[in-house]
Amino acid sequence: MEIIEQLTLHSGKIFWQVINLSLTGSMAILAILTVRLLLKKIPKRFSYALWSVAAFRLVCPVSFSSAISLFSLNLFRQASLAGNRQDTLTYLPADTVLVPVRQTIQEIAASSAVYNGSLTPTLPPALPAADSAVQLSTNQILVAASLVFWLAGLTIMLLYGVISYSKIKRHVVGCIRLSGNVFESERITTPFILGFFRPKIYLPIRLSEHERIYILQHERFHIRRGDHLVKPLAFAVLAIHWFNPLAWLAYSSMLRDMEMRCDEAVLKMGGLTVKRHYSESLLALATRTRLPAASPLAFGESGVKARVKNVLQFHKPKTWILLGALVVCLGVVFIIAANPADHQSEWVPNDDRDLNEAVHQAVLAKIEQDYSDPQHEFVAEGHTVLQAVASGNRVTAYAIVLEKRYTFNDQGVAHFSGSHMPVALTFQKPDNQTYRLIEYWIPEDGTGYGRSIRRKFPEDLVDQAMNLPLFLDERELACNTQVLDYYEATYNPLHMLTGNQDYVAEFLNLAEDIGFDKLPRMYPDDICYNVTPEYIENQTGCMIFKYNESCESFLLADGKIYPLGTGFGGFGLTDIQLCDFDRNGKEDLLYTYSWGSGMHRSEIGLFNLTTKEETRLGSMNLTSEEMEKMGSLGFMMNELYLMKLDEDHFVVYTAEYVHDSAYKNLGFAHISLARKERFAAITADRGEISLKPLLD
């Protein structure tokens, strides 16, 4: 199935390339037909030469660029340069139509970084068969049907050429050699050339002496100019573009110009006095039947009426006219062969606000399109525009995009997934109007990943596009800012630590049995409570106990007791979350606590459940100015409130203590915190933990 899919994908890209070549070639043909009318009275060797550039445009996808180009004209300005390349014109981008829409995060780009609950990118494993199913859109089905139709037409054309050539070759079996490569046969009624590498001239019997002389001059000129090779090559081009009416018109016009060029060569050799005899020879041939089993790969005489008219009107032009025609033809060939020059403007990355907003909206729309039945609640994206290139009314943004999809719970982000990859977004922007997306390009899967980037991106951007950590902090900050804005606008849960008496007696007995002598004794009515959140106990097996007056807290883990954030005054332990900053697969405890009388201090602590070590992440010495800035009122001191983004990233909010009369008897063994403002960010990079203030 995968092999068939890849074959279909690559065949489809070839077909799409043919479509773009056909459109480019059509414009070249229209231009040549126009110029050909202006050169009507000029020797046909000039108009015949013009068809070479039409063939070039129909078969060659790349070309040089120039400030003077046919495709710079507004009439032909629908093409965009492929990527930032000046050598390729693209009218219909293939990627958004030909790339199958897959249904899981792994299927967006198997070789790009994928995120699953962590900011550390990982490469996804090979897709299982069930996940590899491709869902084809209506456009993709139409493209597949068109591909089959085109291949069928191409096959028929090539078979026709081969079969007709074989038939005519059999038709001349038994002919008589007159001299050299000239043969005569009674089974034919019109002369022609047959053969590619050793071409032979075949003549019908009963030709007059004048007819024989003129015909041999004509056919030998064909051979000297290599027309016996040009015609089958032209037919091969026509076979590729058989669906294009202009290609058929170009083919027939080219053959007519070829014949007239040879006629003019004969007149030039024999002098203008042979016009009458030569015209009579052509008319005599016109009264006979045409080439048997007419083959596009053999030469017969065609378009006799137009040729006779051209012969009778032919006169030797003056030298200055020939020079002028040569200059015109060279100029026409140049401007048709050239791509438009780099009339491009570049923006400093992330400096064009309108473009960045267009990229942002395009990425979000793409995610919603790919995940039409989303399990996520919110989507965020961060991008870095490496370069933006404008051509006409189109602009292509070459960027690296980080996108994440989130679900939430009371502790913050419950889960997220996403992807990280280079993209190329092409927009159309008419003057003073908004950007309209016309192509969303993503890299190919698997082994084609790097190759597709090198093909699409400007050469000087390839290394940056494949270096995903480049400016990653900026993209993560953008995603985090978006998800926090959403979370704060949507959720405002109280963070609560609520005590009960579960296992308190067992804890106290254990403390006595092991001789733990750090339990508080200052307050005679100090009561111990179990304040362990259920999810922490379930995931770690440890318990947390707190006294309701002294506010001192203790951790029970693996049969041992450890103080947590002990200090004098304050509210003691106020919030606690699970984390895994060292990425060892085992959860640790990240918590906040406050202490001090007079100047209130809030701190953040980390307890490693593997090493049993406690680390203070820094004292938050809140000055009166800072407390006023954060809106502290009277006795309601600022506490700290943790919100988890992922295993490597927490946001710290300032919070206020909320009195709850329902839990009055628990004292400080019950803590309710209401979120206020973003205060700091805690990040971990390969075990290195940093605390960064977020307040100005």
69 within 8 A of 358, measured Cβ to Cβ: no
Indicate if the pLDDT at residue 487 is higher than 60.
yes
Cβ atoms of 503 and 530 within 8 Å: the answer is yes
Instruction: Give which of 146, 302, 151 is closest to 239, Cα–Cα.
Output: 151
Reported as a pLDDT band with limits 50, 70 and 90, residue 244 is: very high
Q: Which two tokens stand for residue 696?
A: 């100005």
* Cα–Cα separations (whole angstroms), residue 611 to 54, 358, 402, 537, 581: 75, 49, 34, 18, 13
pLDDT digits (tens, 9 = 90+) for 642-692: 988 887 889 999 888 888 888 888 989 999 999 888 888 898 887 788 888
**pLDDT over 90 at 431, yes or no:** no
Regarding predicted confidence, which is higher, 455 or 423? 423
Q: What share of the chain is helix, strand, coil (3-state, %, to 5)?
A: 40, 25, 30
List of E strands, 566-635: 572-579, 588-595, 601-608, 613-621
Helices (H) and strands (E) in the chain, counts: 17, 27
pLDDT at 124 over 70: no
Residue 681 is predicted with a pLDDT of: 87
Lowest mean pLDDT, pick from 130-134, 295-299, 419-423 = 130-134
Structure tokens at 563: 């103080």
What pLDDT shows up at residue 115?
Answer: 52
Structure tokens of 297? 């790969």
Per-position b or e across 517-549, b if 16+ CB within 10 A of its CB: eebeeeeeebbbbbbbbeebeeebebbbbbbbb
pLDDT of residue 93 exceeding 60: no
Pairing verdict, β 182-185 and 200-204: parallel
Reduce the DSSP state of residue 541 to 3 states and report it. Answer: coil
69 pLDDT higher than 80: yes
Using CA atoms, how far residue 300 sits from 130, 185, 233, 274, 670, in Å, is 59, 14, 16, 22, 102
What average pLDDT does this structure show over 459-473? 91
Q: In the numeric block, which tokens belong to residue 60? A: 């060659």
Given the structure tokens 């090979």, which residue do they identify? 126
**633 pLDDT above the threshold of 50:** no
Nearest CA to 590 out of 696, 495, 468, 448 is that of 495
Name the 3-class secondary structure at 165: helix
The alpha carbon dihedral of 171, 174, 177, 181 has a sign of positive
What is the predicted pLDDT for the residue at 98? Answer: 47
Three-state secondary structure of 415-482: EEEEEEEEEEEEEECCCCCCCEEEEEECCCCCCHHHHHHHHHCCHHHHHHHCCCCCCHHHHHHHHHHH
The yes-or-no verdict on residue 275 having pLDDT over 80 is no
Q: Which residues pair with 383 in a beta bridge?
A: 401
Q: Write the DSSP assignment of 324-352 as a string of letters.
A: HHHHHHHHHHHHHHPEEP----EEPTT--
Place of tokens 């403390």: 511
User: Long-range contacts for 9-13 (Cβ within 8 Å, ≥24 apart)?
Assistant: 9/98, 9/99, 9/100, 11/147, 11/151, 12/94, 12/98, 12/143, 12/144, 12/147, 13/94, 13/98
pLDDT band for position 131 (cuts 50, 70, 90): very low
For residues 150 and 207, give the distance between their C-alpha atoms in angstroms, rounded to a whole number. 44
Instruction: Tell me what the mean pLDDT of segment 549-557 comes to.
Output: 93
Which residue matches tokens 């046909």?
A: 44
Residue 384 has pLDDT above 80, yes or no: yes
Residue at token pair 């090779």:
229
Residue 465 has pLDDT above 70, yes or no: yes
Residue 162 confidence (pLDDT) above 50: yes
pLDDT at 42: 86
pLDDT in tens, 29-65: 999 999 988 888 888 889 999 999 999 999 998 888 7
At residue 110, the pLDDT reads 34
Predicted pLDDT at 295: 58
Please tell me the predicted confidence (pLDDT) of residue 659.
Answer: 84
**In terms of C-beta density within 10 A (0-12 exposed, 13-18 middle, 19 or more buried), how is residue 313 classed?**
exposed
- Residue 263 and residue 276: Cα distance in Å, rounded? 13
- Choose the weakest-confidence range: 75-84, 237-246, 473-482: 75-84
Exposed/middle/buried for 501, CB within 10 Å: 0-12, 13-18, 19+? exposed
SS (H, E, C) 476-531: HHHHHHHHHHHHHHHCCCCEEECCECCCHHHHHHHHHHCCCCCCCCCCCCCCEEEC
Give residue for tokens 């890209």: 13
For the chain, give the mean pLDDT. 80
* pLDDT at position 135 over 90: no
Contact status, residue 638 vs residue 632, Cβ threshold 8 Å: yes
Q: What percent of the chain has pLDDT over 70?
A: 77
Better pLDDT: 128 or 333: 333
Decide if pLDDT at 509 tops 90: yes
Secondary structure (DSSP) of 118-138:
SSS-BPPPPPPGGGG--B--H
Compute the average pLDDT of residues 427-453.
85
What's the confidence (pLDDT) of residue 387? 92
Region of poorest pLDDT, from 151-155, 231-235, 313-317, 336-340: 313-317
- Summarize the confidence of residues 308-335 as an average pLDDT: 83
Residue 192: predicted pLDDT: 86
Classify residue 17 by its DSSP letter. H
Residue pair 22/247 in contact by the 8 Å Cβ criterion: yes
pTM (two decimals):
0.52
Taking only the tens place, the pLDDT of each residue in 339-372 is 887 554 443 333 467 888 999 999 998 888 887 6
Radius of gyration of the chain (CA): 40
- What's the average model confidence in pLDDT over 297-315? 65
Looking at the DSSP bridge assignments, the partners of residue 576 are 591
Predicted local confidence at residue 347, as pLDDT: 39
Interaxial angle between packed helices 209-224 and 245-270, expressed in degrees from 0 to 180 and rounded to the nearest 10: 120
Q: What is the pLDDT of residue 522?
A: 84
For 518-535, the pLDDT digits (tens) are 888 888 889 999 999 999
Report the pLDDT value the prediction gives residue 622, as an integer from 0 to 100: 45
Contact 466, 454 (CB under 8 A): no
Span 579-600, average pLDDT:
86
Q: What is the DSSP letter of 105?
A: G
Dihedral of CA atoms 26, 27, 33, 39 in degrees, nearest 10, equals -140
* Element spanning 9, H or E: helix 2-38
Q: What is the pLDDT of residue 299?
A: 53
- What's the CA gap between 222 and 211, in Å, rounded? 17
Cα 259 to chain centroid distance, Å, stands at 48
| Domain annotation for the chain: domains and CATH numbers | 2-100+137-339 (no CATH), 344-489 (3.10.450), 495-693 (no CATH)
Largest CA-CA distance found in the chain, in angstroms, rounded: 138
